[in-house]
Amino acid sequence: MKFAKTFTLKEIASIINCKYVGSDDFPVNGMNEINVVESGDIVFVDHPKYYTKALKSAATIILINKDVECPEGKALLLTDDPFRDFKKLVLYFKPFQSANNLIAESAKIGKNTIIQPNVFLGNNVVIGEYCLIHPNVVIYDNCIVGNNVTIHAGTVIGADAFYYKKRSDCYDKLNSCGSVIIEDNVDIGALCTIDRGVTGNTTIKKGTKIDNQVQVGHDTVIGERCLIAAQTGISGCVILEEQVTLWGQVGTNSGIRIGAGATVFGQSGVTKSLSGGKSYFGSPIAESREKMKEIVRMKQITHKDKN
C-alpha cells in the first residue's frame, strides 16, 4: 500500500507510539508485506527466523521487536509487537469505509458494460468496457477490472486475505489493505473467490480463464492465458507464469512458482515450485512420466507379493 503522500519516520513513530532509529525526516512512502516490499516501504518482522530476510529486503523501514544494528540507508521502528503496530498503521491509513448502495457512487463503469441485478460494487471499484457482470457478484472496495471481462454469478472479488497471528487466547487478524486487479479478456466462473492482497495486489493477467468454484489466495499473480479448472485452490503469494494449466481440484502451497507452460493434472497437491513446459500430477507432486513409472513399479511389487 502506498500512502497518498510521503510521511516522515517521526510521524509514523508517533502514530504507533514507538522508538525509532534513523533521522526524523527519513521518508516513508508506504507499507507492504515482505514478498512485495519496495524502497520507501515499511515491513514488519516479529520472529527471529525472518529478521535477516526483513533487514536485507528492499524495504527501507523495518518494524521490528529486537534491538539490532540498523542497515546503512535504512531506518528502524522498535516495538514489542510489530504485528499489532503494523495492523494499527493499516487501520490508520486504510480505515473501513461502509457502503450505502449496491453500486457505490464512486464506482466507475466503462461503456457497453452490462451489470446484472443484485451486483455489489464497492467504493472506488473500476470496471472497464464491454464487461458482463452476472447476478450476485460482489466486488469489494478499490478492485479494478479491465475490458471485456466476464464474471459469473456468485463470485466474490476482493475479500480479506486469510492472514492471522496465533495469540495465546485467539487468532489475531491482519486487516487487508491491498486490492485485486483483473486484466483484459479474463473469464471468471461462478462461485469463485479471489482474495485481495494483504498490502499489495492479487493479479489475474490478460486472457486467463477460470472455471467455477476456484479459490485464489492473497497476493497471488496468475499470468497471461492460464487455464484454471473447477474446485482448484491456489494459496497466497503464488506465482503462475503464462499459459499454466491447473486441472480440477488442484491444491497448492503458498509462496511457490509454477513455470510457463506447465500442466498440473487433477487432484494433485503442488507442494513445491515447478519448472515450466512439463506436466505433473500426484500428491506429493512429481513430473508425470516419473510418477507413472513409480506407479508401474509399485504395481509390479504388489503383483510379486501376491504371487
Q: Burial of 62 by CB count in 10 Å (0-12 exposed, 13-18 middle, 19+ buried)? A: buried
Strand pairing report for 221-222 and 279-281? unpaired
Q: Does the active-site annotation cover 218?
A: yes
Calculated CA dihedral for residues 1, 65, 6, 11, nearest 10 degrees: 130
Query: Of the candidates 255, 227, 256, 264, which has an alpha carbon nearest to the alpha carbon of residue 243?
Result: 227
Report how far residue 97's alpha carbon sits from residue 88's, in angstroms, rounded to the nearest whole number. 16
Q: What is the DSSP string of 158-203?
A: EEPP--EEE-SSSEEE-----EEEE-TT-EE-TT-EEEPPSSSEEE
Q: Distances from the Cα of 100 to the Cαs of 24, 30, 105, in angstroms?
A: 41, 29, 9
Which residue among the candidates 134, 152, 218, 303 is catalytic per the annotation? Answer: 218
Catalytic annotation, residues? 218
